[in-house]
Amino acid sequence: MKTAVVVTIVFFIIAIAWIGFIIWLLSLIIRALRKYLKSEDVRKEKSVVKKSLGEKLKNYRTSCKMTQEFVAEQIGVSRQAVSKWENGTSDPSTSNLFALAKLFGISVEELLQDLI
């Protein structure tokens, strides 16, 4: 009889500990979601920066009378990669930024100017 009471108490304590853990985990998830929702302005600003880098890349490419395919061949990437950079879907790597600047006949600083 005593053993059954002790086992019941132990299971009760374990159950309370699990419930506490689940509540703590849910509170962390809720805090993370609130923080994410409040960061909307930062996410919008970041997308504007990406778009403006893409627009700059496209403007330099068209002013130099180059096609996306030509740029891609010159720096060793796919045409789709150049398209993604210009659309703001992705960003070129640092080495690709240097290659693009060299191809366009400008400095990397000039390419990235006014983006930050």
Block means of pLDDT (10 residues each) for the chain, 116 residues, are 86 94 96 88 69 88 95 96 92 94 93 78
User: Could you tell me the pTM of the whole model?
Assistant: 0.57
Q: Where are the domains of the chain?
A: 1-38, 40-112
CATH architecture of 40-112: Orthogonal Bundle (1.10)
Q: What is the dihedral of CA 36, 81, 108, 66, to 10 degrees?
A: -140
Tokens of 112: 């990235």
Tokens of 37: 């929702």
DSSP 66: -
* Element spanning 76, H or E: none
Determine the pLDDT at residue 11.
Answer: 92
> Could you give the C-alpha distances from 86 to 7, 52, 92, 93, in angstroms and in order?
66, 9, 10, 13
